[in-house]
Amino acid sequence: MQQVSTLKELEEKQVVFTRKGLLRGMRRTIPLAISGFTVGLVFGVLARQAGLNTLEVFLMSALVFAGASQFIALSLWVLVPFPALTIIFTTLIVNLRHMLMGASLRPWLSQFSRAKVLALLYLMVDESWALTIGDFTEGGRDMAFLLGSGLVMLFAWVSSSVIGHIAGSAITNPAQWGLDFAFTAVFLALLTGMWKGKSNLLPWAVAAVVAVISYRLLPGAWYIVLGGLAGSVTGAISNAK
C-alpha cells in the first residue's frame, strides 16, 4: 500500500504546464473542432429561427459554452411566459456530468492556483476533457493540453454559432444538409478514441443500459447523469478487483 501511495504521489508531482503541451492540445483537437464547428452552425441556424439576435447567440455560446444544454434552451426559448427557471434547472441537470469530469482531473488540477483551475474548468467540455484524459492515459502530464484543446473548441463553437446565425436565412432545414448528424459524429469519435480494450466493455454497457432505461422512464435529461454515474461506479468496482 505504501508503494502504491508513493507512486501516486510521484505521478502527481510530474504534472507541468508548458507551451508545448498547449500546442499539442490544439493540434489534437482540430479534427473534433471541425465537427464541433458543424454543430455550431446548426445551433446558429436554430437560434435565428427561435428569435435570438446575433449578439445573444454570441453571448450564449461564449458564456454557457455547452452545446447540449444550449440546444435544449432553444426548445424552451419560444414558450410563453418565458420559462427562465426551467431553462436554468434543465441546464444544471444536463451539465451535472461535469462534476464527474472535474473529479477525474482533480489529482492534477489541485496542484495549480484557483484562478488557473477555474479557467481550465471553463474550457473543460466533453471533447477537451476526453482528449486530455486520453493524453494522460498515454503518459502525458501537461495540463496545458486541456487549455489548448479547450481554446480550439471555444473558438470553433462561438465562431460557428455566429456564422450559422448570420447564414440562417439561407438554411431553413439543417437536416437537409446532413448537419444534424454532426453532434452524434463527435461523440462517436470520442468513444472510439477512449476505447482501451475489453475492460471498458462492462462499464460502457451498464452506462448504456441505465441511460436507455432512464430515458424511457424519467423526464428531462436525468438519463445523462444516471448513465454516467452507473458506468463510473461499475468501472471503479471492476478496477478495484
Residue 148 grid coordinates: 489548448
Question: Which phi and psi angles does 139 have, rounded to 5°?
Answer: 110, -5
- Amino acid at site 196: K
Looking at the structure, tell me whether residues 120 and 209 fall in a common domain. Answer: no
Answer yes or no: is 6 within a domain: no
178 and 216 fall within a common domain: no
Identify whether residues 118 and 203 lie together within a single domain: no
Strand partners, 142: 16
- Strand ranges inside 26-107, DSSP E: none
Q: Could you tell me if 130 and 222 lie in one domain?
A: no
Residue 180 domain-assigned (yes or no):
yes
pLDDT at res. 10: 43
187/207 same-domain check: no
Are residues 83 and 176 located together in one domain of the fold? yes
**117 & 229 share domain:** no
Closest to 69 in 3D by CA, of 176, 224, 228: 224
CA angle centred on 236, ends 116 and 111, rounded to 5°:
20
pLDDT in tens, the chain (241 residues): 444 444 454 455 578 999 999 999 999 999 999 988 988 888 898 888 888 999 999 999 999 998 878 887 887 787 778 878 878 877 777 787 788 889 989 989 988 999 999 999 999 998 999 999 999 988 889 999 999 999 999 999 999 999 999 987 776 666 666 655 655 655 565 566 556 667 778 888 888 898 889 888 887 657 766 777 787 778 767 765 5
pLDDT attached to residue 196: 62
Domain that holds residue 87: 15-194
CB atoms under 10 Å from CB of 45, counted, come to 25
Number of domains into which the chain is organized: 2
Examine the domain organization and report whether 108 and 167 are in the same domain.
yes
The DSSP line for 202-221 is HHHHHHHHHHHHHHHHSSTT
> Does a structural domain hold residue 188?
yes
132 & 241 share domain: no
Beta carbons of 145 and 120 less than 8 angstroms apart: no
Identify whether residues 227 and 202 lie together within a single domain: yes
Q: Are residues 99 and 158 in the same domain?
A: yes
Let me know if 3 is exposed, middle or buried by CB neighbors in 10 A (0-12, 13-18, 19+): exposed
Indicate whether 27 belongs to any domain.
Answer: yes
Predicted structure pTM score: 0.72
52 in any annotated domain: yes
In a domain, 1, yes or no: no
Residues 141 and 209 in one domain: no
